[in-house]
Amino acid sequence: QKEVEQDPGPLSVPEGAIVSLNCTYSNSAFQYFMWYRQYSRKGPELLMYTYSSGNKEDGRFTAQVDKSSKYISLFIRDSQPSDSATYLCAMPVSDSWGKLQFGAGTQVVVTP
Amino acid sequence: GAGVSQSPSNKVTEKGKDVELRCDPISGHTALYWYRQSLGQGLEFLIYFQGNSAPDKSGLPSDRFSAERTGGSVSTLTIQRTQQEDSAVYLCASSRLGQGDSPLHFGNGTRLTVT
């Protein structure tokens, strides 16, 4: 079993809908929880991160962490075609943010 | 400013040949990382450099893989005697520091195909 599980999709939604993405993890030592966005043939870019449990909002994006269930979520409100990308959850395996355990990534397609 | 630069962007090689992949990190970033992204495995950590030294090589899959970094800047990942299972996108990332909350900046990768 992988340490981080993520449904690969694809997830297809109409423009304006809410996109809901999630990951489960097994390592209770994870403290930071990150979401990366990766456009086709590009490198991943950090979208947002959360420390420990709770919610964090940044514009149309909301990240949630439930450490008791080892479950994290990313919501995208008012989705746009430009949000079409692969979204990867990631957790640092040490106190450095450089060595990350990634989920498989979920491909999102927002149709106009 | 300029981001992380990787070359070549695509590489096709025959099984058994050696390949070299290059990474030019963001200027001033002391930490450099190599990751591999393949269809079956997702993104996997390979190796981490702090300056010119590599304190963490734990992700290198076999002794056919090696990497070096010179002058605290450019890094080269070398794969000897390539195998078909080495086909993947090799991503390089750099960060300002190799510790704490210093996020990674990824390049666009080198897409390696071994025929």
pLDDT in tens, B84-98: 999 999 999 999 876
Residues B44-96: pLDDT tens digits? 999 999 999 988 999 999 999 999 999 889 999 999 999 999 999 999 999 98
**Chain A, nearest residue to B59 by Cα:** A99
Q: How far is the C-alpha of B56 from the C-alpha of A37, rounded, in Å? A: 26
Asked whether the predicted pLDDT for residue B38 surpasses 90, the reply is yes
Q: What share of chain A is helix, strand, coil (3-state, %, to 5)?
A: 5, 55, 40
Residues A17-28: pLDDT tens digits? 999 999 999 999
Q: Of B69, B30, B29, B37, which is closest to residue B53 (Cα–Cα)?
A: B69
A-chain residues near B45 (CB < 8 A) = 93, 99-101
B110-114/B65-69 β-pairing: unpaired
Q: Could you write out the DSSP letters of every residue in B20-89?
A: EEEEEPPTT--EEEEEEEETTTEEEEEEEEETTEEEE-TT--STTEEEEE-TTS-EEEEE-S--GGG-EE
The two structure tokens encoding residue B58 = 């734990």
**Cα distance from A67 to chain B (closest Cα, Å)?**
20
The model's confidence at residue A95, banded by pLDDT at 50, 70 and 90, is confident
Task: Pick the residue of A3, A4, A96 with the most B CBs within 10 A to test the interface with B by mutation.
Answer: A96
Predicted local distance difference test score (pLDDT) of residue B100: 67
